[in-house]
Amino acid sequence: MISGEPAGPGRATEPAVPVPVVAVAELRGRVGGGWIGALSLANLAVFLGFFTPIQILLPLQLERLDAAHKADLLSWVTGVGALVAMLVNPLAGAVSDRTTSRFGRRRPWIVLGALLGAGGLLYTAGRHSLPGVIVGWALAQAGLNVMLAGVTTPVVDQVPVGQRAVVSGWTGISQSLGLVAGAGLVTVLGGGVLAGYGGTAIAVVVLGLPFVLFCRDPVLPPAARAPFRLRTLAAGYWVSPRRYPDFGWAFLTRLLINLGNAIGTLYLLYYLTDAVHYPSPDSGVLVLTAVYTAAALLTAIPAGAISDRTGRRRALVVVSCVVMAAAALLLALFHSWPVTIVAAFVLGAGYGIYLAVDQALVTQVLPVAADHAKDLGVINIANSGPQVLAPALAAPVVSHLGGYGGLYALTAVVTLLAAPLVHRIRGVA
């Protein structure tokens, strides 16, 4: 039996419980608030590591390198980082699925990923050239994606289906909190790039510790471990949409929603600077992320509770698409600070619904119980892939096809395209 509560502070960590891999998907005991809180903090660690550099530190660092070409430089850095994420996350998940450590399958990789990610952030902080920043951010992305593979899978490993949307709501809020916490951290540390990277690196490690130290993790018996074959691991990057159509449609839906989100958020600091002409763009990002997060807090848990109670996922994903598209249209049509605040609230409300319900939906369409972390890693390509596609789409739009108005109009269109596709998923209500 797997405990739903972390051990109290100062108590020795209880040994992980041996659970055959085939039984992981059949666990039915509801998890407790302590377990949810610890996992949410671990998720916060990952997304703080992702979003603080992308939203604030990298734009500031690259602007100092070359202010005239800052948007192009940011596109290169985030694009390479996203490519690394796409390669590392499924591989880390596959290795995690095959880990027979007495500490469990997920916790060792959470620790390793946190340390590697923090090291990459610290290395990035000291770089003063584009190649150096690219290498540092690639290292950080590699580590953070190893950690992500570890913190994503416990929801499907240990949470019953009827509780997954609520739990996903809490972990999804951690994703939103990563935005505001990162902006707040940089502000508290004086707005400096070096201090911002250092504080973020420390937070990634510290916030991941409660789940690692106090929550138990199913142990995979050596006899149940799938063999390590390079060909099998490489083939794992492909999940046939013909054989698993629900998985394929879920992937495409998530890809479009995250592409819309990436297009809209990639140049947020520059949008405030160049379109809204806000006098303090750094502070503006902090305000907007706080508003966005507050809205997500208001919608994520109620949406998750409704979804778990009714068993319905798809309709709520459609609602989230429509709400987020409406926010993008506000940004496209009105380049003013008051409207930007309203749009941030609307966007946060829509994304809060999406974070809770879509993650729960995805856990119900995973193909094979023995490959949960690997398959979630493949699904997570739909999160990181847009970071590659978004710069390629956004840069020419900003430069030649309508500026920021065209950029946010494109965001609305891409997000709305996901709404009808979610209804192609047949195995989930």
Cα angle at 428 between 390 and 169, to 5 degrees?
Answer: 60
Residue 128 CB burial class (10 angstroms; 0-12, 13-18, ≥19): exposed
- The secondary element (H helix, E strand) that includes residue 410 is helix 403-421
CA distance 219 to 135: 35
- Position 28 scores a pLDDT of 52
Q: Is the pLDDT of residue 233 over 80?
A: no
CA distance 196 to 201: 9
Least confident piece of the model among 84-93, 206-215, 289-298, 315-324: 289-298
- Position 24 scores a pLDDT of 43
Average pLDDT in the 41-56 region? 92
Determine contact, residues 283/320, Cβ cutoff 8 Å.
no
Q: Is the pLDDT of residue 415 over 90?
A: yes
Least confident piece of the model among 70-84, 131-145, 230-244, 405-419: 230-244
pTM, entire model: 0.82
Average pLDDT in the 352-367 region? 90
Residue 19 binned pLDDT confidence (cut-offs 50, 70, 90)? very low
Residue 261 binned pLDDT confidence (cut-offs 50, 70, 90)? confident
**Token digits of residue 238:** 């492909």
CA distance 318 to 320: 5
Average pLDDT in the 353-381 region? 89
In this predicted model, what pLDDT tens digit does every residue of 376-413 receive, in sequence order? 999 888 887 787 788 778 878 888 888 899 999 999 99
Q: Is the pLDDT of residue 26 over 80?
A: no
In this structure, what are the phi and psi dihedrals at residue 219, rounded to the nearest 5 degrees?
A: -95, 135
Average pLDDT in the 261-286 region? 85
Find tokens 């290498």 and name the residue. 135
Determine contact, residues 239/370, Cβ cutoff 8 Å.
no
Q: Is the pLDDT of residue 8 over 90?
A: no
Q: How high does pLDDT run on average in the chain?
A: 87
- Position 10 scores a pLDDT of 37
Average pLDDT in the 238-267 region? 89
Residue 141 binned pLDDT confidence (cut-offs 50, 70, 90)? very high
Sorted by where each starts, the structural domains of the chain and their CATH numbers stand as 21-222+234-424 (1.20.1250.20)
CA distance 157 to 370: 10
Determine contact, residues 93/376, Cβ cutoff 8 Å.
yes
- Position 21 scores a pLDDT of 42
Determine contact, residues 207/48, Cβ cutoff 8 Å.
yes
Q: Where are the alpha helices (DSSP H) in 98-192?
A: 107-125, 130-152, 154-158, 164-188
In this predicted model, what pLDDT tens digit does every residue of 200-223 receive, in sequence order? 999 999 999 999 999 989 898 888
Sign of the four-CA dihedral 371, 377, 380, 382: negative
In this structure, what are the phi and psi dihedrals at residue 18, rounded to the nearest 5 degrees?
A: -65, 120
CA distance 399 to 403: 6
Q: Is the pLDDT of residue 17 over 80?
A: no
CA-CA distances (angstroms) from residue 290 to 173, 345, 352?
12, 9, 13
Least confident piece of the model among 61-65, 80-84, 140-144, 382-386: 382-386
Spatial CA neighbour of 31 closest among 147, 166, 128: 166
**Token digits of residue 209:** 């510790």
Contacting residues for 231 by C-beta, under 8 A, at least 6 apart: none
Residue 97 binned pLDDT confidence (cut-offs 50, 70, 90)? very high
Residue 232 binned pLDDT confidence (cut-offs 50, 70, 90)? confident
